[in-house]
Amino acid sequence: MSENKNIKKFISLPVIQTLLIYLSSGWLILEMTDYFISHYDLTARFRDIMLIIMIIGLPIALFLTWIFSREKPKEEEKGVGVFKILLKRLWFTIPAVVVIGLLIFSAVRYVYQHNTEDAAFPNISAAMQLPEVSLAVLPFTSFTGNPDQDWVIAGQHESLIHELSKVSRFRPLRIISRSTVDAFKNYDKPIAEIAREIDVDYLVETSVLASEDSVTLQLRLIHLDPEENVVWAETLSSDYMHILGFYSSLANQIARRVNLALSPDEEEKLGIKREINPDCYKAYLRGMYNLNLLTPEGMEKGLEYLHEAVRIDPAEPFAHAGLALGYLELAHSPLDPGDALTKAEAAASKAFKLDTTMAEIYTALGEVYLYELWKFDLAREYLEKALRINPNLAITHYHFAWALYLFGDTEGALREHNLARKYDPFNALNTAYMGVLYYSDGQMEKAIEIALESFEIEEDYPAGYFVLGMAYLQAGMPEDAIETHQKMIELYPWWSWGLGYTYAVTGHTAEAEEIVKQLESVDPNNWNAVGLAWVYNGLGRMDEAFKWLNYEPHHAFTAWAAVQPEFKELWKDPRFEEFLGRLNLPE
């Protein structure tokens, strides 16, 4: 009996009641963070922030309860109204109101969600069980044929692809990436043949008339199965200020006409209602057009235009996102002056502060965490978030594949790389580098086969030569490896360290050391540093290999020394554990 009294007395203590109410309300708040994360496109860090706030708030709440509850209840309070008593017992009232409010909010949200779902698709899961629909937007053509407007035409083409690809968040719609459909620019093939080559059900043909302040599209949506049939034809116009909403609405109209209509709530989530500064938009289009030329001049000019877009409107997320992606492209090339990843991080962080709904921003942040900051848990989180927002992003699947490979999941990496090829089959990048995954997995013939396949997509593709030579080495074909890498540096001299490594491991020590001498004769940079680590590793000179492996600022490729089979001898060195410690790879 006395034990029950003690328990009741303990539970009736204000501090204990506050603790119980605080913990229960905290549990409800954490349960609801999943709703906020999905509904407002926040990341899982939102949950971490809420948890930290609640941990900090607990001792504060207990302290305030102790302060307010020190005064004993007076006899005069007997018979006083409940409302007045609650006012005097704020230590109990405030947490209780919070809990009740959260319960009411949860109930309203539950009812609202279940009453506003589209009748045709009671939930996204059911909608995603529909047969996949595939669609390609053919390169836009200009009414005028003026080459000075190529940057405008290319920008409109990319905009429609971008908005259509977002539909795949809610419906099984496969959109072919621009780099693949650009292979059919100025095409003279029948469209049925094009559809067969890229394996799609629908094609969009579009002609564009661009003026100083607006664009007009003449569009045809064509179904190819079982025979060519124009499903929809329309002429549409927009000024540049409202261009984002224009393409968002156009994507919804096309989705309806391929029998993948979105619900009003889904259209609202994907829609873009804000205006954009026309001059900023034009600078952005010019920047992305030049970046996509993939030339040193195009890279430099593209970044200049994107900086101009940021200067025109510092609050425009597309400008910052484009700048981040441009610097990330630079960081993977021999042209990186050493600060590309740092600049990419700054641009991506600014873009994220301005807009948390763009998959491209999450991709950029994921790349920054993967290649520069080596915060691999965050890299995975952001890349997965990007793919939840837009499963069609081939480049995100590509980078996620390399993240998984680094984490020791070669099977998952091959799966993601294949998805990159599915959405962008005519991009040699997605094919060539897959060879590394295959020979790392012991599939030598497949590695050679797929590296050769990259040349069918893009003649003399540089990474194709690099991967093919390494695949030949792994397969025990040294002469073929040397011949392949010799041809590589005839075309692309900056890849000389690839040949240096091949010379080193095939016993051509003098030739390898000559390449080392050439690389060390110029001012060091992160591209040559990672290359020198490769060559010295091949020569067995581990002191020099570790020196260059630890060079900062490191190159985007550096971390993969932890998993690529070319570095097996280096793994045996005790200093390799220190390198792994720097990486701090996930378990």
Residue 556 lies in a domain: no
Domain holding 232: CATH number? 3.40.50.10610
Same domain, 233 and 287: no
Residue 475 lies in a domain: no
CA distance linking residue 563 with residue 392, whole number of Å: 28
CA distance linking residue 486 with residue 286, whole number of Å: 37
Residue 242 lies in a domain: yes
Residue where one domain finishes, among candidates 391, 407, 428: 391
* Range with lowest mean pLDDT among 129-133, 289-293, 394-398, 444-448: 129-133
CA distance linking residue 440 with residue 560, whole number of Å: 12
Task: Report the SS3 class of residue 476.
Answer: coil
What's the pLDDT tens digit per position in 490-526?
999 999 999 999 999 999 999 999 999 999 999 899 9
pLDDT for 125 equals: 52
| Residue 75 predicted with pLDDT over 50 | no
Distances from the Cα of 263 to the Cα of 21, 387, 515, angstroms: 39, 21, 61
Same domain, 309 and 373: yes
Same domain, 291 and 363: yes
| pTM (two decimals) | 0.78
pLDDT for 142 equals: 84
| Residue 234 predicted with pLDDT over 80 | yes
Residue 54 lies in a domain: yes
Domains contained in the chain, number: 3
Same domain, 271 and 160: yes
pLDDT for 100 equals: 56
Same domain, 297 and 262: no
Question: What proportion of the chain, given as a percentage, has pLDDT over 90?
Answer: 60
Is residue 136 within a helix (H) or strand (E), and if so which, with residue range? strand 133-137
CA distance linking residue 104 with residue 116, whole number of Å: 18
Which domain covers residue 322, as residue numbers?
276-391
Q: What is the mean pLDDT of the chain?
A: 85
Same domain, 264 and 359: no
* Range with lowest mean pLDDT among 38-47, 319-328, 407-416: 38-47
Same domain, 224 and 300: no
What's the pLDDT tens digit per position in 337-353?
888 888 999 999 999 98
Residue 469 lies in a domain: no
Residue 80 lies in a domain: yes
| Residue 228 predicted with pLDDT over 90 | no
Domain holding 306: CATH number? 1.25.40.10
Residue among 409, 294, 317, 408 nearest 364 (CA): 317
Same domain, 382 and 318: yes
Same domain, 254 and 283: no
Q: If pLDDT is split at 50, 70 and 90, which confidence band does 81 have?
A: very low
Same domain, 269 and 353: no
What's the pLDDT tens digit per position in 551-581?
999 999 999 999 999 999 999 999 999 999 9
Residue 536 lies in a domain: no
The residue with greater pLDDT, 115 or 379, is 379
pLDDT for 417 equals: 97
pLDDT for 69 equals: 64
Residue 222 lies in a domain: yes
Same domain, 81 and 109: yes
| Residue 164 predicted with pLDDT over 80 | yes
Same domain, 253 and 326: no
Residue where one domain finishes, among candidates 87, 115, 143: 115
Residue where one domain finishes, among candidates 275, 295, 320: 275
The residue with greater pLDDT, 60 or 494, is 494
The residue with greater pLDDT, 41 or 327, is 327
